[in-house]
Amino acid sequence: MIGSFGKAMQLHPDELSVSEDEVQALVARRLPELAGAPIRRVEESGTDHHLFRLGGELVLRLPRRPGAEAQTRREARWLPRLAPHLPLPIPEIVAFHEPDAEFGHGFGLYRWIAGQTAVRAAQDDPELAEALAGFVRALRAANRGQYRDEAPLAGRGGPLRPRHDAVLEALASVADEVDAKFWRDVWADSLAAAPHVGPPVWLHGDLIPGNLLLRSGRLAAIIDFGGLGIGDPAADLIPAWAVFGAAARQRYRQVLGVGQDEWRRGMGWALSFALIALPYYRDTHPVLAATARRTLGEIARDMA
């Protein structure tokens, strides 16, 4: 059974860790036609999966925590249907492999998409904001109504209220570095916004810097659709603060035509992401912790 501790830093108490040698054995057993291909861990693999380059064109996506394979199953079912309607490349899954006796988790084989994640600094580029807004608009409209009865609910597509306790608990955990009263007031304002009216739309659900790929400073692809589903469009406003600076944020809002209540709910989604991620990852995932702090800083800038 794959399970010994590999080179990646442990992020979760229930981490499913895996080494390159173990991946090589898995490939030899499950993908014998690729057994000779070089294997290399992708260091920026996110928090729910391990990624391993397999040769030059492919990448393996293995669960990093129990249950994460459901995200890959979701991508395998829905991304091929949505991709033709979208203006940017998204992950192309070659095959989903079911668990077996030696590796008790499903995993995916994908085409590799080259690019650099947008994690290094706030992206105050209105053209980048316009490109991402165009993608979000296309995703919202993709197959509208065609799959509504069978489409999954997005993980971040419902009301904010169920996140209240988690937000307050996280806020207490980072009271050493943030103004707790200020953030409770911002959170309360988001909760007070009018709810979404109208049908749910398709959402990515996790448009943070690590899921945006850039080439030469331009948006080249969107990755990691594990939270894909339908719901309140406000959830895909997270990048307004997690990715963009002030000028780009306003362009993103303008292109999407966001009203005041949706904007307040979107700020709530960005705030809840940042407050929950910061205490969980500040000692184990410095890049994600920095994204959380950036998000809080941009929200504070808007509220000043």
Residue 67 lies in a domain: yes
Specify the higher pLDDT residue, 147 or 97: 97
CATH number of the domain enclosing 42 = 3.30.200.20
Boundary of a domain, candidates 53, 80, 111 = 111
How many C-beta atoms lie closer than 10 Å to residue 243's C-beta? 29
Residues 152 and 242 grouped into a single domain: yes
Residue 6 lies in a domain: no
Does residue 6 register a pLDDT over 50?
no
Q: Please return the burial class of 188, using the count of CB atoms within 10 Å of its CB with bins 0-12, 13-18 and 19+.
A: exposed
- Give the E-state strand segments of the chain in sequence order: 39-41, 49-54, 58-63, 93-97, 107-111, 116-117, 201-203, 212-215, 218-222, 229-231
Residues 64 and 123 grouped into a single domain: no
For residues 207 and 244, is the Cβ–Cβ distance under 8 A?
Answer: no
Residues 42 and 67 grouped into a single domain: yes
Give the tens place of pLDDT for each residue, 220-257: 999 999 999 999 999 999 999 999 999 999 999 999 99
pLDDT score at 79:
95
Spatial neighbors of 259 by CB under 8 A, at least 6 apart, are none
Residues 203 and 292 grouped into a single domain: yes
Model confidence at 304, pLDDT cuts 50, 70, 90, reads confident
- Sort strands 58-63 and 229-231 into parallel, antiparallel or unpaired: unpaired
Highest mean pLDDT among 32-46, 106-120, 237-251: 237-251
Residue 80 lies in a domain: yes
CA distance 266 to 242: 11
Residues 48 and 99 grouped into a single domain: yes
CA 82 to chain centre: 17
CA distance 94 to 250: 38
Residue 8 lies in a domain: no
> Residue 226 carries which side chain, given as an amino acid letter?
G
pLDDT score at 292:
96
Does residue 8 register a pLDDT over 70?
no
Residues 79 and 107 grouped into a single domain: yes
Residue 179 lies in a domain: yes
Specify the higher pLDDT residue, 251 or 121: 251
CATH number of the domain enclosing 192 = 3.90.1200.10
- Total domains present in the chain: 2
Helix ranges (H only) for 121-196 are: 126-141, 164-173, 180-191
Domain that holds residue 199: 119-303
pLDDT over 70, % of the chain: 93
Does residue 111 register a pLDDT over 70?
yes
Boundary of a domain, candidates 89, 111, 133 = 111
Residue 269 lies in a domain: yes
Model confidence at 10, pLDDT cuts 50, 70, 90, reads confident
Residue 7 lies in a domain: no
pLDDT score at 43:
79
Boundary of a domain, candidates 93, 111, 129 = 111
Q: Which two tokens stand for residue 73?
A: 């199953």
Residues 130 and 230 grouped into a single domain: yes
CA distance 304 to 299: 9
Does residue 123 register a pLDDT over 90?
no
Three-state DSSP at 100 gives coil
